Structures are given as C-alpha cells and as structure tokens.
Amino acid sequence: MSHSGPSAVAITLSEAERAELMRRTKMPHRRSAEKARIILACADGMSNAGVARLVGVQAKTVGKWRRAFAAERMAGLEDAGWIGRPKADLILDDSERRQLQQWARQAKTAQFLALRAKIVLRCAEGGTNQQAAADLGIDRSTVDRWRARFIAKRLDGLHDEPRSGRPPSILLDQVEEVVVATLNYATHNTAEIRTWLGKHPRFPCEQPSP
C-alpha cells in the first residue's frame, strides 16, 4: 500500500464518519460512492496517486476531495453549484423517511425537531441549500447546519447535544402531558387552590364562600 507523502493532508475518521462513508459506497449515485471511496482510502494512509489508481480517477481529483474533507468534513463532499450552496447527496431509507415525517407533524412542544425534520425532507427532494431555505422560509445557514448534522450522524444528529450539568428532571416530550394534567387538576380543584392562595400574603385571594 502506498502511504501519503509529506504534501498530502492526513485524514482521520470518526466512527460516525466512517459508517456514513461506508453507507455511501453502496449508493446507486456513482459520484457519491466515488467520493466516499476516495476519503476511505485516504484515511487508510494511501497517497493521492495510490487512491487515484484504486478508485479509477485522476490524482488531482483525489487531492481536491481530500482537501475539501479535511476542511469541512462531510459537508466538504458537496458539489459546488451555480445558485447558492448545493444540497449534499442526501438519500433517505424508508425507515428514516417515516421517522422524519412523524417528527415533522409533532405538536408545538417539539417544533424545533419538526423544523429540522422538514429541512432534511426538503433537502432529500433535491436542489440547493438556498432553494431549500427559501421554500421553508428560513435562513440558509440553518439548512447548512442541519443538513451537515444529518449527513454525519443521521437521525441522531437532529437532536440537541447533551449539555453539561444536572440532567433535566423531565423530558421535553413530557412537558405537554404535565401541563395538561396541571390544568385539569386546577379546573377540578378551584376551591382548594383559592383557599391555599388566600393563606399566603404574597397571593391575596378572596376566601371562597362556605
């Protein structure tokens, strides 16, 4: 195996990136599969010339995608377009499409996830990031971000990254259930609540009639 020379940019892949690239090598889209094979071979330590012979392309093509991946990771494998930045080669399998469609229809308590799902579904239809942003009425940078996250991590990439500190005591999808339960309790226990409020100076309230 030929190893990268001093001028070649070294490529190191995360597990998620390697898994996504392996998935792309099996795509029917020849160009996407070709770029994935180039990066995988580069990550194995091959020189541009060695990768070119293996994949059947020119060495300058290998150098182009090696540099693009090193600079922007998976997003760097997108082709340049005439109008705005083009969408990545984003192909959904049936289970991903079903899950995204389900998220896109969720209640207001999960609108952030619904929007991200709509972005990915729109991107999968074709066109550029600029066109997808215009169709959804959002900024192109938002499309750029969530397209790249989905490409790198698939469905898991659409969730917020875990935050440091104490984990939340209630999950977001439980908020609506808690609010509804609280309102139902208040509706059926008005007298009890007004009595409690009347005993606290900060919450003056007329005592209920006996």
**Residue 79: which of 91, 64, 57, 58 has the closest Cα?**
64
- Kindly report, residue by residue over 57-112, the tens digit of the pLDDT: 898 899 989 998 988 888 888 765 444 454 556 788 888 888 888 888 876 547 88
The model carries a pTM of: 0.41
Q: What's the pLDDT at 187?
A: 58
Task: Please give the mean pLDDT across all residues of the chain.
Answer: 75
Domain residue ranges of the chain, discontinuous segments joined by +: 15-77, 94-158, 170-210
Backbone dihedral angles phi then psi of residue 23, each to the nearest 5 degrees: -65, -40
Q: How far apart are CA 56 and CA 72, in angstroms?
A: 24
Q: What are the structure tokens assigned to 20, written together?
A: 């996504």
